Structure 1
Amino acid sequence: MTDAYHLAASRPWLIQRESLETILSVAERAGDPQALQTRLGRPLDNARSVTMRDGVAVIPVTGPVFRYANLFTAISGATSTQVLATDLQAALDNPYVRAVVLEFNTPGGEASGIGELSDTIHAARGRKPIVAYVGDLAASAGYWVASACDEVVIAETGMVGSIGVVMSYLDTSERDAKAGVRTLEIVSSQSPDKRLDPKTDEGRGKVQSIVDALAEVFVTAVARNRDVPVDTVLSDFGRGGVLLGAEAVKAGMADRIGSLEAVITELAGSASTPKRKTPMSNTNGQVTVSTTADLRNALAAGYTAEQITIASTDTAIAAARAEGEAAGRAAATDAAVTAERGRIARIQALARAGFDTELQAAVDSGATPEAFALTLLQAAQERGITLDAVRRDAPPAAAHARPGEQGGDTKVTSLSTSAIYARRQAGAVSAK
């Protein structure tokens, strides 16, 4: 069985040395991957936290970076490039997101998947502003990704760089010999390089060529992303080390000094609405909403009442518009919000325990209180619940009880939706 350490050590890494040593140390102590997962004592949490602020999506890039969410991402709340790419695409496709900020605090990670993510970000330039903010550290793989953004903003104490590739090899032969362990491998004769031995000059040379080739891809990508010659990256971008704040700006690794709050405020105020047309938006800064969810999203994205058009025939909106266009879109929007809140409040007043699914469906679908009352009655009948039981939140009566048995002779009388609603409002709905 391959142990956790060798799973980690066999991969090329774009990461700072201290962070790699921590990962390898934990992997070596844990033994096999399942033991490591058990020792952590917590489930793998792949959920991402993307914050929406005034139309700006802030996506964190924290901890070591891995291609997939796996046992190593659970060690220190690491980042998966697969999940990060999904979050980024969702932000780019969302018409209410005006700009994206990738907030970096990462020592780097494994090489797998980094180039693809960098290419994805670089190709997305021009759709919406994509800014990398480095408040602490964007090293190695982290800087590869950050360099692909439209702009790199760094704090005075932030650090970027560590451009290069590393592979580690743990020689356990002496330890194994003392323990009486001998490992024998038989490699197919046509594949002499399948098991390179870094302890030999030939094996080390071939491993070195792999590392150098990957580093060349890394350097070339950064040069493209930052629009500088490869020689500039090799000579001025830290030579494998990291540069601090103003020094990074001077070298061309970052564009300017700034704070996260300032970047978000700037993007929220100056970023235009999405250029790509969607059913919800147009090119003159206006947005049309047809549901309560659309309205909430538009307001959260920073659209003003004057920019929002309500696509609805709701009575409250019609009445507000009847008073004259002089009232403006702001009045119509306020009326829509008030009417929607009233509808939800009346539906919630009718709700009873055990009917949460019907309640949520009524709220989400825009159903009227009267329609919800009918739905509630029908659901109760299907479950064998009498109207008395609904009113008292009592357990359901037997659906087919015989006369004289518990629940027998219970009769449900159909009521009109208007009558049900009126009686519910008065607190006097009952079954005769």
Structure 2
Amino acid sequence: MRYAHILLAVASEIWAIDEFKLDQIVSFLALQASGEKLSAEELRARVARQSERDVERRQGAVAILPLRGVIANRMNMMSDISGGTSSEAFGRMFSAAVNDPKVSAIVLDVDSPGGAVSGTDELSSLIFAARGTKPIVAHVNAQAASAAYWIATAADEMVLTPSAEVGSIGVLGVHNDISAALEKAGIKRTMMTAGRYKAEMAPSEPLSQDAMAYQQQRIDAHYQSFVGAVARNRGVDAAAVREGFGEGRMVSAADAVAIGMADRIATLDEVLAGLGAVDQAPATAKRAFAPQRAKRALALD
């Protein structure tokens, strides 16, 4: 039942995510909800979950904040399925770095297929509002799709690793009609509701035309918010985003820079070097051994 509840939650959400990733998640949840159990190896093969949790790190005075995996406002349901990032938690981490006097610059380390619309515009606006406080660079290695692109474009500068892809600007929803499966299983579900449109998205019933039209209106409204935010973040008009930023497709690094979707191509190490980030570990080790070298030099005289 646990996976059935998550499947319902996924269906009720509106997504700004790579459609193949969403299909992968929905297929996995439907399989688990049906009672089929997978081995640990099969789980890893079906859903590309992060093998270890990414955490904030520092290199010199530069804070590196990971924006990885599926993005959702709160990850309590999705984190155990495919890993990912809570936009709410990321916002707190970002604000702490902005307000930390020991942090001279912030790098958003992005590799994400996107995620839920809820919470995404708020995080994008939070990052955009922090422009001018200290350098904020979004580095994409190697994917910033949909919600991830919506968020990453809010940085002062967007830099792509040579093999990166960005875009997938679009919004989608999903409705799983399981009425035929219930009938095949000999289950007849009766919905008792109050309110004209209550339960119109229930998966136990086919989707009505009215419900489909309402859902499409919601998707269109979120798409306009997405386009407007990217236009603001990239300093272009909305038509340029709608008609020239891939139109829902992913765009390669070189093409993205050429059409203004990103600023330049560089590796993360090159970005950090440009921000003056210095790894302190080698310097500390060097100072520790300096007295020994001095003693050996004196002994040779």
TM range (shorter): 0.7 to 0.9
By how many angstroms is 1:268 displaced?
1.6
Are 1:24 and 2:26 matched, yes or no? yes
My pick for the range that moved more, 63-72 or 236-245, is 63-72
Structure 1 residue corresponding to 2:162, chosen from 153, 156, 159: 156
Q: Distance in 2 between matches of 1:116 and 1:46?
A: 27
Are 1:7 and 2:9 matched, yes or no? yes
SS in 2 for 1:120: helix
Higher RCO (CA 8 Å, separation ≥ 6 residues): 2
> CA 1:131/1:121 → structure 2, altered by over 3 Å: closer, same or farther?
same
Deviations 1:222-269 (A, max 9, x none): 111111000000011100001101100111110111111010010126
Are 1:205 and 2:213 matched, yes or no? yes
Q: Distance in 1 between matches of 2:250 and 2:147?
A: 13
Deviations 1:357-384 (A, max 9, x none): xxxxxxxxxxxxxxxxxxxxxxxxxxxx
SS in 2 for 1:125: coil
Identity %: 37
Q: Distance in 2 between matches of 1:108 and 1:124?
A: 22
Q: Distance in 1 between matches of 2:197 and 2:75?
A: 33
Are 1:179 and 2:185 matched, yes or no? yes
Question: Residues 4 and 31 of structure 1 are in contact (CA less than 8 Å); yes or no, is this contact kept in structure 2?
Answer: no
SS in 2 for 1:57: strand
The equivalent of 2:293 in structure 1 is none
Extract structure 1 runs of 4+ deviating beyond 4 A.
45-48
The equivalent of 2:299 in structure 1 is none
By how many angstroms is 1:153 displaced?
0.4
Are 1:63 and 2:69 matched, yes or no? yes
The equivalent of 1:254 in structure 2 is 262
Question: Residues 162 and 240 of structure 1 are in contact (CA less than 8 Å); yes or no, is this contact kept in structure 2?
Answer: yes
Q: Distance in 2 between matches of 1:77 and 1:192?
A: 34
My pick for the range that moved more, 51-60 or 69-78, is 69-78
Larger Rg: 1
My pick for the range that moved more, 161-170 or 88-97, is 88-97
The equivalent of 1:104 in structure 2 is 110
The equivalent of 2:248 in structure 1 is 240
Q: Distance in 1 between matches of 2:160 and 2:149?
A: 12
Question: Residues 62 and 277 of structure 2 are in contact (CA less than 8 Å); yes or no, is this contact kept in structure 1?
Answer: no
Deviations 1:106-136 (A, max 9, x none): 0001111101100100000011111000121
Deviations 1:313-349 (A, max 9, x none): xxxxxxxxxxxxxxxxxxxxx9xxxxxxxxxxxxxxx
Question: Residues 66 and 73 of structure 1 are in contact (CA less than 8 Å); yes or no, is this contact kept in structure 2?
Answer: no
Question: Residues 133 and 152 of structure 1 are in contact (CA less than 8 Å); yes or no, is this contact kept in structure 2?
Answer: yes
> CA 1:156/1:10 → structure 2, altered by over 3 Å: closer, same or farther?
same
Are 1:78 and 2:80 matched, yes or no? no
Q: Distance in 2 between matches of 1:193 and 1:104?
A: 38
Alignment root-mean-square deviation, CA:
2.9
> CA 1:269/1:180 → structure 2, altered by over 3 Å: closer, same or farther?
closer
Q: Distance in 1 between matches of 2:147 and 2:135?
A: 21
The amino acid of 1:15's aligned partner reads I
Are 1:192 and 2:200 matched, yes or no? no
Deviations 1:75-107 (A, max 9, x none): 232111122112111211211111000011100
The amino acid of 2:122's aligned partner reads E
By how many angstroms is 1:193 displaced?
5.8
> CA 1:123/1:193 → structure 2, altered by over 3 Å: closer, same or farther?
same
By how many angstroms is 1:6 displaced?
1.3
Q: Distance in 2 between matches of 1:216 and 1:154?
A: 25
By how many angstroms is 1:175 displaced?
1.2
Q: Distance in 2 between matches of 1:219 and 1:193?
A: 30
1:290-329 correspondence to structure 2 within 5 Å: none
By how many angstroms is 1:212 displaced?
0.6
SS in 1 for 2:109: strand
Q: Distance in 2 between matches of 1:87 and 1:203?
A: 38
The equivalent of 2:290 in structure 1 is none
Structure 2 residue corresponding to 1:89, chosen from 84, 95, 100: 95
The amino acid of 2:272's aligned partner reads I
The amino acid of 1:65's aligned partner reads I
Question: Residues 4 and 30 of structure 1 are in contact (CA less than 8 Å); yes or no, is this contact kept in structure 2?
Answer: no
The amino acid of 1:14's aligned partner reads A
Q: Count residues with an aligned counterpart.
A: 269
Q: Distance in 2 between matches of 1:17 and 1:267?
A: 35
Gap runs ≥5 in structure 1: 271-298, 302-333, 335-432
Q: Distance in 1 between matches of 2:118 and 2:153?
A: 17
By how many angstroms is 1:46 displaced?
11
Question: Residues 98 and 268 of structure 1 are in contact (CA less than 8 Å); yes or no, is this contact kept in structure 2?
Answer: no
Q: Distance in 2 between matches of 1:4 and 1:137?
A: 25
By how many angstroms is 1:194 displaced?
5.1
Q: Distance in 2 between matches of 1:109 and 1:74?
A: 15
Deviations 1:210-230 (A, max 9, x none): 111111111111111111000
Q: Distance in 1 between matches of 2:186 and 2:97?
A: 56
TM normalised by structure 2 equals 0.81
Deviations 1:284-325 (A, max 9, x none): xxxxxxxxxxxxxxx959xxxxxxxxxxxxxxxxxxxxxxxx
